[in-house]
Amino acid sequence: MKNFHFQNQTKIIFGKDTEVRIGEELKPFADKILLHYGGGSIKKSGLYDKVVKSLNESGIEFVELDGVMPNPRISLARKGIEICKKHDLKFILAIGGGSVIDSAKAIAAGVGYEGDVWDLFDGIGQPSYYLPLATILTIPAAGSETSPSCVLTNEENNLKRPYWHPDLRPVLSILNPELTFTLPDYQTACGIADMFAHVVERYFTNEKNVNVTDHLCEATMKAIVENGRKLMKNPNSYELRAEIMLAGMVAHNDSLEMGRIGDWASHDLEHELSGFYDIAHGAGLAIMIPAWMKYTYKHDIARFARFGNRIFNLEVNTENLEETALSAIEEVERFFKDLGLPIRISETELPTNEVDKLAQSLMTNKDYIGNFVQINEEDARKIYTLAI
- Looking at residue 65, which CATH number applies to its domain? 3.40.50.1970
Contact 201, 257 (CB under 8 A): no
Nearest to 268 by CA among 141, 124, 120, 368: 368
382 shares a domain with 366: yes
Q: How far apart are CA 81 and CA 108, in angstroms?
A: 8
Mean pLDDT of the chain: 97
Q: Within a domain: residue 282?
A: yes
Q: How far apart are CA 67 and CA 255, in angstroms?
A: 32
Q: Within a domain: residue 96?
A: yes
144 shares a domain with 77: yes
User: pLDDT (tens digit, 9 = 90+) per residue, 176-189?
Assistant: 999 999 999 999 99
150 shares a domain with 43: yes
- Residue 368: give its domain's CATH number: 1.20.1090.10
175 shares a domain with 144: yes
206 shares a domain with 175: no
Q: Within a domain: residue 5?
A: no
User: pLDDT (tens digit, 9 = 90+) per residue, 80-117?
Assistant: 999 999 999 999 999 999 999 999 999 999 999 999 99
For 314, phi then psi, to 5°, come to -75, 140
Question: Which of 179, 201, 218 is where one domain is finished?
Answer: 179
Q: Within a domain: residue 132?
A: yes
71 shares a domain with 170: yes
188 shares a domain with 87: no
Contact 185, 232 (CB under 8 A): yes
Q: Is 13 helix (H, G, I), strand (E, B) or coil?
A: strand
Helix, strand, coil abundance in the chain, percent, nearest 5: 55, 10, 35
Residue 144 domain boundaries: 11-179
Question: Which of 123, 150, 179 is where one domain is finished?
Answer: 179
Contact 61, 35 (CB under 8 A): no
Per-residue pLDDT of the chain (388 residues; tens, 9 = 90+): 999 999 999 999 999 999 999 999 999 999 999 999 998 899 999 999 999 999 999 999 999 999 999 999 999 999 999 999 999 999 999 999 999 999 999 999 999 999 999 999 999 999 999 999 999 999 999 999 999 999 999 999 999 999 999 999 999 999 999 999 999 999 999 999 999 999 999 999 999 999 999 999 999 999 999 999 999 999 999 999 999 999 999 999 999 999 999 999 999 999 999 999 999 999 999 999 999 999 999 999 999 999 999 999 999 999 999 999 999 999 999 999 999 999 999 999 999 999 999 999 999 989 999 999 999 999 999 999 999 9
pTM of the model: 0.95
257 shares a domain with 127: no
Q: How far apart are CA 333 and CA 226, in angstroms?
A: 15
Nearest to 105 by CA among 125, 81, 69: 81
Q: Within a domain: residue 6?
A: no
Look at phi and psi of residue 55 and say left if phi exceeds 0, alpha if psi is from -120 to 50, else beta: alpha
Q: Within a domain: residue 374?
A: yes
316 shares a domain with 249: yes
Q: Within a domain: residue 2?
A: no
What burial letters (b/e) apply to 145-174, b meaning 16+ CB within 10 Å?
bbbbbbbbbbbeeebbbebebebbbbbbbb
Number of domains in the chain: 2
129 shares a domain with 88: yes
189 shares a domain with 172: no
296 shares a domain with 230: yes
Q: Within a domain: residue 124?
A: yes
Q: How far apart are CA 359 and CA 314, in angstroms?
A: 34
Question: Which of 122, 144, 179 is where one domain is finished?
Answer: 179
DSSP characters for 252-285?
Answer: TSSGGGTTS----HHHHHHHHHHHHH---HHHHH
